Chain A
Amino acid sequence: GAVVSQHPSWVICKSGTSVKIECRSLDFQATTMFWYRQFPKQSLMLMATSNEGSKATYEQGVEKDKFLINHASLTLSTLTVTSAHPEDSSFYICSARGAGHEAFFGQGTRLTVV
C-alpha cells in the first residue's frame, strides 16, 4: 500500500521559534499534498493544498506567511510554522495523493509550543 512518512512525530518548541515538518511519499509520486490541523476532539481542518513545483493554495483564514509550505519534489513537502505561539499547538497531519483519487495520510506531528 501507499506509505506516507511524516517527521517528526512530536516536537516541543519555544514560543517565537520556527518548526519544520516533513512529509514524504515513500513508494509513489505525490502530485498533490495536503496539510491539515486537528485540535483535540475536533474534525480535520484543511490548511492548504500544494502541487509539486507550484505555490500552495491556502484555505480561507490560514496565514500563508505563518504556515510556509514547500512542495519541491514529487515525494517531499514541508510545512514550516514560523514564529510559533502556544495557540499553534496542535496535531498537524499531511496527506498525499498520486495518480488516483485516494489520499494517504502521514502519521501526524504533535506540536507543543511552550
Chain B
Amino acid sequence: QKEVEQNSGPLSVPEGAIASLNCTYSDRVSQSFFWYRQYSGKSPELIMSIYSNGDKEDGRFTAQLNKASQYVSLLIRDSQPSDSATYLCAVYSGTSYGKLTFGQGTILTVHP
C-alpha cells in the first residue's frame, strides 16, 4: 500500500466548476499536510497547509482534513484554466529524517 495516495486522474472540469482533489495517507502519526501545485516544466509551489481537523480556506482554495479517516482534500472553487496543473498532496510525519511523503499527483485540466 502506498503511503500517500491521490485520486487517479486526470481530472477534467469546466471553467467555473468546483474541482475536488482527494488524498489518503497511511501513517497515523502524520502531523502536517500540504498541497502543492506544479505546472508543466516547473517546480512545485506550496498552495495550502493544514494541521488540524476541519476546513481551511484561502481564497478559492479550501483544504479539508479528517485525521480519523486519514483523509485530506483540496477544493478549488470557480476553477479557472490557469488552475490546470498537477496537484501534489504531501504529508509530514516527523519520522524518516523529517522528509515529506508525496502522492503521485493528480492532473487537473480546467476547460473553457
Contact = CB atoms under 8 A, between A and B. Distances in A.
A96 B34 CA distance: 14
A102 B43 contact: no
B61 to A, nearest CB: 15
B46 interface: yes
Smallest CB-CB A-B distances: 9 pairs: A101-B32, A108-B43, A105-B43, A101-B92, A49-B97, A93-B43, A43-B104, A105-B44, A57-B97
A67 interface: no
B52 interface: no
A102 to B, nearest CB: 6
Interface residues of A, number: 20
B100 interface: yes
B107 to A, nearest CB: 9
Nearest to B88: A44
Interface residues of B, number: 21
Interface in B1-56: 31-32, 34, 36, 42-46, 49, 51
B102 interface: yes
Nearest to A44: B102
Interface of B: 31-32, 34, 36, 42-46, 49, 51, 88, 90, 92, 97-100, 102, 104-105
B49 A102 contact: yes
A32 B36 CA distance: 18
Given A101-B32, A101-B92, A106 B100 contact: no
Contacts of A103: 34, 46, 90, 100
A51 B99 CA distance: 11
A105 B45 contact: yes
Contacts of A32: 97-98
Contacts of B51: 101
A107 B43 contact: yes
